[in-house]
Structure 1
Amino acid sequence: MSQLSFAEASQLQRVQMIEEALEKVLDRGPEMSVESFRSGEPMHVWVLTRPGRDQRTGYDLNQMAREIEALLP
């Protein structure tokens, strides 16, 4: 079975494809990582809020993927 292309995918499938791609490209080490808050929770992009401190802000990966999908033609 061949893999579904982005152009042929449904909106939900496109969001899932974007979410998977974001998970790979946004995992940048200690400054920015992709992980869930707890086991079974949605994936988030965690970004250091202040250098030198262990304070991070989480951004919902699925929400980001839906925003990107809405911007694409």
Structure 2
Amino acid sequence: MHSTPRIFQPVLSTIPSSVPPPSSGNSTARPPLASPMRPSPIEQYRPSPVHPPQKIQPVARTSRAMEVR
């Protein structure tokens, strides 16, 4: 449960920074490719950056509320 919120923080910060600059996105995708957990989430944001974020937001909110309870 703790690993979920941690992954969302770094992923969200990398998505916006790699979205505005198209050329920079290539160099940013190189480091994540090394890790198997990062490439899968980044690939989902590239094709449809509007669907993944919306689905993650509700999930993170529910998981956090459950942890607090």
State the TM-score, normalizing by the size of structure 2. Answer: 0.31
Higher relative contact order (CA 8 A, sep 6+): 2
Larger radius of gyration, structure 1 or 2?
1
State the TM-score, normalizing by the size of structure 1. Answer: 0.30
Greater strand proportion: 1
